[in-house]
Amino acid sequence: MSTARFTELVENLPATVPFVGPDAHMRASGRAFRARLGANESGFGPSPKAIAAMQDEAAQAWMYGDSECHDLRMALAAHHQIAPENIHVGEGIDGILGNLVRLLVAPGDAVVTSDGAYPTFNYHVAGFGGALHKVPYRDDHEDPAALLVRAEQVGAKLLYFCNPDNPMGSWHSARIVQRLIDAVPEGTLLVLDEAYIDAAPEGTAPALDADDTRVIRMRTFSKLYGLAGMRIGYAIGAAPLIAMFDRIRNHFGVGRLAQAGALAALHDQAWLAHVKTNLDAARKMLGEIASDNGLHALPSATNFVTIDCGHDGAYARKLVQELMSRDVFVRMPFVAPHDRCIRVSAGPPTELAVFAEVLPQALRNI
Amino acid sequence: MSTARFTELVENLPATVPFVGPDAHMRASGRAFRARLGANESGFGPSPKAIAAMQDEAAQAWMYGDSECHDLRMALAAHHQIAPENIHVGEGIDGILGNLVRLLVAPGDAVVTSDGAYPTFNYHVAGFGGALHKVPYRDDHEDPAALLVRAEQVGAKLLYFCNPDNPMGSWHSARIVQRLIDAVPEGTLLVLDEAYIDAAPEGTAPALDADDTRVIRMRTFSKLYGLAGMRIGYAIGAAPLIAMFDRIRNHFGVGRLAQAGALAALHDQAWLAHVKTNLDAARKMLGEIASDNGLHALPSATNFVTIDCGHDGAYARKLVQELMSRDVFVRMPFVAPHDRCIRVSAGPPTELAVFAEVLPQALRNI
């Protein structure tokens, strides 16, 4: 009897997954969510033009998607006023991060991130055998100075920095981020994850210098563009770095409807503005719901609000359980001291009303 | 100035891609194809029910797809009468092959395939540093006995076998394939790529024994189900092997519309039967077109027909160029002696009529 011989690296990987998905939670409870506010999806939906584009393309689904994502890359290049050679389109930021780690990280190579930052990035680093070094947040913000020191110390190949930040919703100004880029040590590539940049105030994103070899920037259609279910995002970086993805990527991996939907969504900037307006109102409402219940909403430059519950991680975990048991899907940061908080996506008013209704019950039950 | 430090493995990978996509070809010529018969897509289209399911789901694209592909896995389990634990759903067979190679192949590990078989598999093996050993075809068929000998000799971790075969369209009976499974050397996993199995005669697929640890079988919605543009396929294997994909896969990588479309397509077996009927007619028609032009169509158990042009590779390459320059998209096998052939997808009558019209002109021009 033959048995598959896994690599030593794979044999030693844990069987955990970074996130339990919303649908898996619903199956576990046997009930639908009343409010789906845990995965930072955009409850305001995608652009009606994106919906129509995907519906129009559905009958053409027998054809592979364009392996070069040409039309979308051209449109993104025009949108950002950069060259298409500076753009890699991939299967969401998750997929692109996996391939980026694969390009750079061999077993034992050092990678730096913040303790409590995006777990899927850590998952990919572990998956390729990288040695992950974590730096604490400082006052609920990622700490650029400390990250730089650690990257220098360990000779990091990658330095992960998410701005605005998930899960804290905090952000640094473009000036600070540019200083971080300028100070990246020789031999370290800065991964600037800007998944939430469309939700941030003006002056949060440093000017795009797409040929800067020190940084690769991640953008997505999964958040404000409302296309999480289509798996499409992109990276902006120096052309020689972007070209390297061709050596390892799944060339036909970005679907045909995904490309059509993303292209239409990009062209409908009026919808994006509409979503931003709704987002502002939703963040404000979440702040009010929090304070009405004696909790404190942290400032947010993302499409979610992180709410400080004023106690320890055990308390917040119990609150998440109480909310989930009432079919309100939220999540919370993983590590102390952030795990004093819960994280609530900025959804439409009807969903936030459910959260407002259920939160006092959940708090009373702790 | 910082520069990304790629892994040694990646630095040494070639910059080539396995396939130039159909859309890239059209951009190069500046004209649309008159007949799209080169990528073994299903020109008969997906089930109307699958189209409707994707259209219905489009407005829900703001939600991530189910990370566990639960409903589809349950439906596939019922369809094949196996357990859901034996099924891994991934981003097409291409994506699954990449992850399978990553699970098993460390730099230097031996892998065996046939010389001229699926280049995307070879691309993944090279991408993870595997040592690829190739065995010649025998009379336009993959050669199970020779593959087994080589796998034993080199201590292969993976043995790739495609049945029915791409690019030759040939096939072995279930009896032969079962003997191959039974004879796989200790420590070798057989990758049985059955992408085209729905196009094959009864008695081509060995009985499914999903718990057999010697083999992993690949199936797809990209071919007869007509959903190439959605990027969704699945693997059937022993539960402990299937579970290993969770350690490395992109957990939210299979899109929401892809899952909805595949589920509806699976439930519409009447459409699959309709496609098979059309396919039979198309293969027959391609055979007639070939013989009308003094060429010889090889027997096919796939959704394409491989046509022997009766000369060498240079001749067939010229024929492909002549056809492409007339906006008829076809491909051809890569290696001798198969490169005496061209490979034409079994499309709808209108497209085959274009091929019939253009082929004599193309032949005259060589």
Range B48-267: architecture per CATH:
3-Layer(aba) Sandwich (3.40)
Q: How far apart are CA A124 and CA A118, in angstroms?
A: 11
| Candidate CATH numbers 3.90.1150.10, 3.10.20.30, 3.90.1570.10, 3.40.50.11540; the one for domain B19-45+270-364 | 3.90.1150.10
* pLDDT for res A209: 97
Q: How far apart are CA B227 and CA A255, in angstroms?
A: 10
The secondary structure of residue A141, as a DSSP letter, is B
Domain-by-domain residue ranges, chain A? 18-45+270-364, 49-267
Of B15, B95, B120, the CB nearest to A247: B15
Pairing status of strand A131-135 against strand A110-114: parallel
Q: Do A49-267 and A18-45+270-364 have the same topology in CATH?
A: no
Q: Which residues of B touch A109 (CB under 8 A)?
A: 7
| Candidate CATH numbers 3.90.1150.10, 1.20.1250.20, 3.40.640.10, 3.90.1530.10; the one for domain A49-267 | 3.40.640.10
* pLDDT beneath 70, residues of chain A: 1-2
Reply yes or no: is the peptide bond before residue B167 cis, omega within 30 of 0.
yes
- Which amino acid, residue A231? R
Chain-chain contact of B45 with A63 (C-beta, under 8 angstroms): no
Q: Please report the DSSP string for B103-115 in residue order.
A: HH--TT-EEEEET
* pLDDT for res A123: 97
Angle at A168 between CA A145 and CA A334, to 5 degrees: 100
* pLDDT for res B272: 98
DSSP alpha helices (H): ranges in A184-247? Answer: 239-244
A188 touches chain B (CB under 8 A): yes
Q: Which residues of A touch B254 (CB under 8 A)?
A: 231
- Angle formed by the axes of helices B22-29 and A70-80, nearest 10°: 70
The SS3 of residue A223 is coil
Chain-chain contact of A51 with B58 (C-beta, under 8 angstroms): yes
Q: Check residue B60 and give left, alpha or beta (phi > 0: left; psi -120 to 50: alpha).
A: alpha
Which residues partner with A159 through β-bridges? A112, A190
CB A143 within 8 A of CB A136: yes
A231, A182, A241, A227: which is closest to A206 by C-alpha? A182
- The CA distances from residue A58 to A55, B27, B47, B50, B56, in Å, are 5, 22, 11, 9, 10
A179, A242, A233, A256: which is closest to A213 by C-alpha? A242
Q: Is the dihedral of CA A21, A27, A28, A31 positive or negative?
A: positive
Q: How far apart are CA A175 and CA A185, in angstroms?
A: 18
B5, B212, B20, B121: which is closest to A2 by C-alpha? B212
DSSP alpha helices (H): ranges in chain B? Answer: 8-11, 22-29, 48-57, 70-80, 92-104, 119-127, 144-154, 174-183, 239-244, 256-267, 269-292, 313-325, 349-364
Chain-chain contact of A250 with B98 (C-beta, under 8 angstroms): yes
The SS3 of residue B74 is helix
* pLDDT for res B67: 96
CATH 3.90.1150.10 is held by the domain A18-45+270-364: yes
- Cβ-based neighbours of A30, under 8 Å, separated by 6 or more: none
B-chain residue closest to A100, CA distance = B6
Of B19, B65, B214, the CB nearest to A2: B214
Residue B40 sits at φ, ψ, to 5 deg, of: 55, 35
Q: How far apart are CA A248 and CA B137, in angstroms?
A: 27
Chain-chain contact of B230 with A127 (C-beta, under 8 angstroms): no
- The CA distances from residue A93 to A88, A112, A162, B31, B207, in Å, are 11, 18, 12, 33, 40
Chain-chain contact of B226 with A62 (C-beta, under 8 angstroms): yes
Task: Scan residues 297-356 of B and list those with Cβ closer than 8 Å to A.
Answer: none
B36 touches chain A (CB under 8 A): yes
Q: Six-digit token pair at A280?
A: 């502002």
A-chain residue closest to B184, CA distance = A2
CB A89 within 8 A of CB A136: no
- Which amino acid, residue B136? P
Q: Which residues of B touch A42 (CB under 8 A)?
A: 62
* pLDDT for res A2: 55
Q: How far apart are CA A19 and CA A26, in angstroms?
A: 14
* pLDDT beneath 70, residues of chain B: 1-2
B364 touches chain A (CB under 8 A): no
Angle at A33 between CA A275 and CA A37, to 5 degrees: 35
